[in-house]
Structure 1
Amino acid sequence: MLFSSKAASGRPGGVPDLYRAVWRWHFYAGLLVLPFLILLAVTGALYAFHGELDALIHHDKLRVAVQDAPRQLPQQLVAAALRAEPGTAFRYTPPSRPDASAEIAIRNATGERRVVYADPYSGRVLGAIAEKGTAMGIVRRIHSLAFFGPVANGVIEIAAGWSILLVGTGLYLWWPRPAREKGGVVTLRGTPRRRIFWRDLHAVTGAFVGLALVFLAATGMPWSGVWGSAVNQWANGHDFGYPAGLRVALPMSDEHLGHSAPTSWSLEQARLPRSTHPAAEPIGLDAAVAEFDRLGLAPGYAVSLPAGGSGVYSGSVYPSDLAQQRVVHLDQYSGQPLLDMGYADYGPAGRALEWGINVHLGQEWGLANQLGLVIVCLGIVVLCVSGAVMWWKRRPRGALGVPPLPRERRVLRGVVAILVLGGIVFPLVGLSLIVMLAADRMLVRLGDRARMREPA
């Protein structure tokens, strides 16, 4: 059976009621998020080095021999890509360095998006990969569960929200108390054969990586489907989606920047301006790339091609240096910049969120940021594994091992009230809390019935 009187007696009777209540909900939160935290930690540690790993794995497509010769023009490279992969080109990425290939994103007749890689010196097509289909692109989609649709993405949002609550309850349980036995605060007791060792390993590791885990969960939330979308709309304004001060008197399309080009989180909802001289001759991709170079966009920028007669050329770049983040829209007929915006133009909330995202991706402080993320991710794995082992060693035979109820049920209600506040901030977490409250109530009833059936 899942619940028994033994399961409720896993701690000495002298444990304070508040400790029991917090421990019970810490257990539930861990039960919910543990497998997802391991997934996020492993994939996050890999993705911290996504540039290096992709360059290594896809070296035949991403790297070329540097030649003492002029590069092919962008339009020539696009034409070569379309001969290899027929369809409609919608994005061109110039080589970011002398030994890098050019990338041409193409939508074929079936609607599939593929990225063709071409040698910028010879124009030779090096191969093609499905959009977001590089090794690290796949890792990133696993990290967010994007492979499995919006419902799975919602599960990740729930796990991230509960992770924050998990750290809060865990820090309360870890906090040193005068009456507590010595050890287990920053030191480990016993050996791996004993449960106390795993308890201390779990507590000490949590104390060191807990705040980093909260930071990663909070900075990962902007990508979530419910909370992230709502905050995105709030942060970007209520009109065109552009940051404050960038709403100008320009004809605007219904297309959003996030649908047409790689962009920062803060500008996903930004609407694109329209080109306004359809009777004129378009300037073409070669002239647009030359203009973006003249305007000084940082290397690595991508150019989204105009969609229809009123579309624009959109150059966007999001390098590790936040100050160089920039989006420029060019009129496809005159070549004039319609909007030119960067990190400095974001509002305070947008700048703060973008900084957090940059750290989350391991881009803010170079190698130190990457290695720091890997260390934190390893700590999260240790946290999860030690928690699972600790629970397994404590769990009574044939029972789930739910921590005991407080003697005063109103204490439990107080802890739940605090959790409800977190559920209000994160709506999906609130829904999951309702489900867990119902499950907890069911377990309590099962336990009461089991005790009533026990012989006196």
Structure 2
Amino acid sequence: MVAVPLAPPTRVATLWRRVRALLAWLHLWVGLSVGAVFAVVGLSGSVLVFHSDLLRLQHPQLTVFEPQARGEVLAAVLARETSRGLRSLQLPAEALPVWMGFYEDGRRAYFAPDDGRLLLVRSEHDDALIWLHELHTHLLGGETGEALVGIVGWIALGLTLTGLYLWWPKRGRMLAQLRVFRGPPVRRWLTWHRSAGVVLLPVLLLAVLTGIGMVYHGAARSLLTGVFGGGATPDAPVRPADGTPVDWPRVLSRAQSALPSAALTRTAAPAEDSGVVSFRARNAGEWHPYGRTTVHVDTAGQQVLRVHDATRQPLGARMTEAIYPLHIGSVGGAVVKWLTALTGLLPTFLLATGFLFWRRRRGH
């Protein structure tokens, strides 16, 4: 019997093998280096999914009130705290029935809904949850750290897509490629790594893409609204101040009457030269936990100047405003919240199994 020599590989096949080898090398070494930062961001995100729950557990004194938003209390808190750097104020709600103030230096303060007395002050220097938030969003480095988070997001997207390419099986081998082995160690860590990555790929991609969309929010909005329609959120109308103080009880009532099906969520003291008070609100059907609907009222509380209903925007704008709630898992109830937290653990699992696979293979 005469052996038939095998045909030499074509140039295209040789090129693809080299490309695959290069991608495998990049996937390994970039994953073992930048993957550590990706894991830190993911782990902190898993905890932050339960930020509100942990806050109520850590500080039960914030939960003993009835949620009530009174104009007199709002006026007192703003008059006292605006000069101290208060940037905006979140109104009491069922989830957190106290006023929550956001300050320019990153502090958060909590005030009783009945009389505005100070209950608690938190900052990244004395509160683990806010420290984790700064780590997750800025790597504790301000604007520079946020830019690095964006770069890590793009690298994570590249790792995810190259991993999918390296895993992709031949026709009819899909289920075989998802099989998980107990041993030997090299095969065990490899199959755990690739099977977990492929099975949870949709939620991992969602987390990565929405994270990138938050860092590059302007570009993401331009892209989505350009393709699917929409535009920028309307600015507050321009109206000069007339020197009279803000009638907060009347302003609050007027803003709420303009949006009977919405809940007012945030406001701030108007600029000294402005005669307009602006509110954010969450309308029925909005995914964003604080809403992206806005209403603007004159400081006397006599006239509603402009209403922007976020639920009536074109698709592109609504998609843009779904990025944040999808990223934090606030859409879909407890199941989605826990799935989002599990997704945050996945980069650490992939880093550990990838490292163990590399170490075992190198030993052999």
1:12-161 to structure 2, matched below 5 A, reads 16-60=17-61, 62-66=62-66, 73-76=70-73, 78-79=75-76, 87=84, 90-97=87-94, 100-105=97-102, 112=105, 114-130=107-123, 135-145=128-138, 147-161=140-154
Q: Which residue of 2 aligns with 1:230?
A: 219
SS of match in other structure, 1:301: strand
Asked if 2 retains the 8 angstrom alpha-carbon contact of 1:328 and 1:337, the reply is: yes
Alpha-carbon distance between aligned partners in 2 of 1:102 and 1:374, rounded to the nearest angstrom? 27
Q: Which residue of 1 aligns with 2:356?
A: 389
Would you say 1:189 and 2:181 are equivalent positions?
yes
SS of match in other structure, 1:147: coil
Going from structure 1 to structure 2, the CA distance change for 1:83 and 1:374 (only over 3 Å counts) comes to closer
Letter of the 2:97 partner, please give it.
Answer: A
Which of the numbers 267, 271, 275 marks the counterpart of 2:235? Answer: 271
Q: Which runs of 5+ in 2 are unaligned?
A: 1-13
Alpha-carbon distance between aligned partners in 1 of 2:72 and 2:95, rounded to the nearest angstrom? 19
1:373-400 superposed Cα distances (whole Å, 9 cap, x missing partner): 1222233321121012112223369xxx
Count of residue pairs brought into register by the alignment: 344
Alpha-carbon distance between aligned partners in 2 of 1:382 and 1:217, rounded to the nearest angstrom? 16
Asked if 2 retains the 8 angstrom alpha-carbon contact of 1:91 and 1:303, the reply is: yes
Alpha-carbon distance between aligned partners in 2 of 1:274 and 1:128, rounded to the nearest angstrom? 34
SS of match in other structure, 2:332: coil
Letter of the 2:21 partner, please give it.
Answer: R
1:169-218 superposed Cα distances (whole Å, 9 cap, x missing partner): 111211223799x9962222243x72211011111111112232222111
Would you say 1:359 and 2:356 are equivalent positions?
no
Q: Which residue of 1 aligns with 2:262?
A: 298
1:132-165 superposed Cα distances (whole Å, 9 cap, x missing partner): 9865443222111252122222221111112222
Q: Could you tell me the percent identity over the aligned residues? A: 20
Alpha-carbon distance between aligned partners in 2 of 1:394 and 1:135, rounded to the nearest angstrom? 39
Alpha-carbon distance between aligned partners in 2 of 1:298 and 1:137, rounded to the nearest angstrom? 28
Asked if 1 retains the 8 angstrom alpha-carbon contact of 2:27 and 2:159, the reply is: yes
Alpha-carbon distance between aligned partners in 2 of 1:116 and 1:147, rounded to the nearest angstrom? 20
Asked if 1 retains the 8 angstrom alpha-carbon contact of 2:211 and 2:327, the reply is: yes
Structural RMSD (CA): 3.7
Asked if 1 retains the 8 angstrom alpha-carbon contact of 2:65 and 2:98, the reply is: no
Going from structure 1 to structure 2, the CA distance change for 1:317 and 1:361 (only over 3 Å counts) comes to farther
Which of the numbers 344, 354, 361 marks the counterpart of 2:311? Answer: 344
Alpha-carbon distance between aligned partners in 2 of 1:54 and 1:377, rounded to the nearest angstrom? 20
Letter of the 2:237 partner, please give it.
Answer: P
| Deviation of 1:34 (Å) | 0.8
Asked if 2 retains the 8 angstrom alpha-carbon contact of 1:118 and 1:127, the reply is: yes
Letter of the 2:39 partner, please give it.
Answer: I
Q: TM-score under structure 2 normalisation? A: 0.79
Alpha-carbon distance between aligned partners in 1 of 2:302 and 2:245, rounded to the nearest angstrom? 8
Q: Which residue of 1 aligns with 2:4?
A: none
Q: Which residue of 1 aligns with 2:274?
A: 310
Which of the numbers 329, 341, 355 marks the counterpart of 1:374? Answer: 341
1:261-307 superposed Cα distances (whole Å, 9 cap, x missing partner): xxxxx64xx5332224x336344222111122222363461112211
Going from structure 1 to structure 2, the CA distance change for 1:36 and 1:320 (only over 3 Å counts) comes to farther
Q: Which residue of 1 aligns with 2:9?
A: none
